Amino acid sequence: MKTLLQLFWAFFKIGAFTFGSGYAMIPMIEKEVVDKRKWFDKDDFYDQFALASSAPGPFALNTAVFVGYKLKGWWGSLFAVLGAVIPSFVIILIIAIYLTEFRDNRYVGAAFKGIRPAVIALIAVPFINMLKRLPWYFMVLGCAVAAVICYLGVSPIWFIIAGAAIGLILTYRSKP
Amino acid sequence: MIYLQLFLSYLKIGFFGFGGGYAMLSLIQNEMVTRHGWMTATELADIVAVSQMTPGPIAINCATYVGYTVTGNIWGSLLTTLAVSLPPLTLMVLITVFYTRLKNNRYMQGAMKWMKPMICGMIGAAALLFVNGATFIDWKSYAIFLVCFLATWFKVDSILMICLSAVAGILLYV
């Protein structure tokens, strides 16, 4: 029980004090899980993290799952995930409730007019950075996928399925 | 039955949400804006901004907020947050259990190789869908975009950029 509560608390802190995407949380998780609690050694942690980042769903939760599982099995995973989710859930819920009321406020409205173009920039930069690291034919494919999803309204799910299928077929046909 | 639809939509978002928060965003757009029309692209852009500025993973923040916006109460938030937590609690548990066998599996690597350009395209689509008349209202919005783009490119903290653009918005538009 003590370990379960420690797991919950470790991920509660991570959920309450880190901002941004799951990747941004990795240093904080590493500090808590590897340096402070010694639950993992560093290489082991990064090996498992590599796998966690290729699974669907939020990174932070996938990381919580493998850390929790190693210590206390399924219950460990559950406690770690709850710890990571609860702070965000409570904080954002309070904001959602109040912001819906204040959205018509003159100043809040003006602030959001400034924020919206900024949000596009924040998404465009990682897109270009990721694109840059791909071979040219994947660059073309990436841009085409973006245009088809956005302008034709095709669900991204089909592209994920197609990508996985092509990858599996090509691997099957190539010699090991 | 909006609760059931919302839960199923978010379950899809969770289980196909490869590549992290921004890639998931294009799934959220497709389900919430394009398919069901539960919110406008502009509302979603505001939610993304707030999710970025508050602590916790963007995907969770966004799920909680979207759930509240679509249904107008806490139960919607609970459902979406639960749905987005289910893939980690099921699939990721299996992956952890079979970790040693999956670690250097060539099929898994082959699939990931071809999913990468798709994930990249999804992130691009998320940015593109927000480019519309409601976001770019005049030259000032283009100026804010340009400054933020350059600042983010040179690794200025994104929360700082959102705060500054909020201030710019108040100064320019009130």
Torsion of the alpha carbons at B127, B132, B138 and B143, rounded to the nearest 10: 10
Give the minimum alpha-carbon distance from B1 to chain A in angstroms, rounded to a whole number. Answer: 22
* pLDDT exceeds cutoff 70 at A22: no
**What is the overall mean pLDDT for chain A?**
90
pLDDT tens, residue by residue, B31-70: 999 999 999 999 999 999 888 888 888 889 999 999 999 9
A57 CB neighbours in chain B (<8 A) are: 14-15, 17, 59, 84-88, 91-92
Q: What gap in Å lies between CA A81 and CA A96, rounded to an integer? A: 22
**Whole-number pLDDT of residue A127:** 92
Cα–Cα distance, A50 to A59 (Å, whole number)? 10
Determine, for residues A85 and B26 on separate chains, whether the beta-carbon distance falls below 8 Å: no
pLDDT in tens, B78-130: 999 999 999 889 999 998 888 878 878 889 889 989 999 999 999 999 999 99
- Domain ranges for chain A, please list them: 2-102, 137-176
pTM exceeding 0.95: no
Task: Give whichever of A53-57, A125-129, B156-160 has the largest mean pLDDT.
Answer: A125-129
Average pLDDT score over residue span B142-154: 94
pLDDT band at A48 (very low <50, low <70, confident <90, very high): confident
- Quick one: how far is CA A132 from the chain centroid? 21
Q: How far is CA B110 from CA A170, B72, B90, B113, B116, in A?
A: 7, 43, 23, 5, 10
Interface pTM, i.e. ipTM: 0.89
Could B129 and A150 be called an inter-chain contact, meaning their C-beta atoms sit closer than 8 Å?
yes
Query: What pLDDT is stored for residue A87 in this prediction?
Result: 92
Domain layout of chain B by residue ranges: 2-135, 136-174
Which residue from B26, B88, B87, B8 is spatially nearest to B62, judged by alpha carbons?
A: B26
Q: Tell me: the pLDDT tens digits for B123-137?
A: 999 999 999 888 899
- Give A-chain residues touching B32 at CB under 8 angstroms: none
Q: How far is CA A21 from CA A58, A101, A114, in A?
A: 9, 27, 22
- Integer Cα distance of A41 and A158 in angstroms: 38
Number of residues that make up chain B: 174
Check residue B19 and give its pLDDT: 85
Determine how many CB atoms are found less than 10 A away from the CB of residue A125: 20
Exposure b/e, B71-93, CB count within 10 A at least 16 = b? beeeebbbbbbbbbbbbbbebbb
Residue-level pLDDT at A176? 67
Do B71 and B2 touch, CB atoms closer than 8 A? yes
Residues A116, B95: C-beta atoms closer than 8 Å = no
* Inter-residue contact B29 to B44 (CB < 8 Å): yes
Could you report the per-residue pLDDT of A125-172, keeping only the tens digit for each?
989 999 999 999 999 999 999 999 999 999 999 999 999 999 999 999
What does the pLDDT read at residue A43? Answer: 87
Distance from the Cα of residue B19 to its chain's centroid: 11
Contact B49, A116 (CB under 8 A): yes
Task: Please indicate whether, in this complex, the C-beta atoms of B122 and A59 are within 8 angstroms of each other.
Answer: no
Q: Which residue of A has its CA nearest to B130?
A: A120
- When pLDDT is cut at 50, 70 and 90, the band that residue B75 belongs to is very high
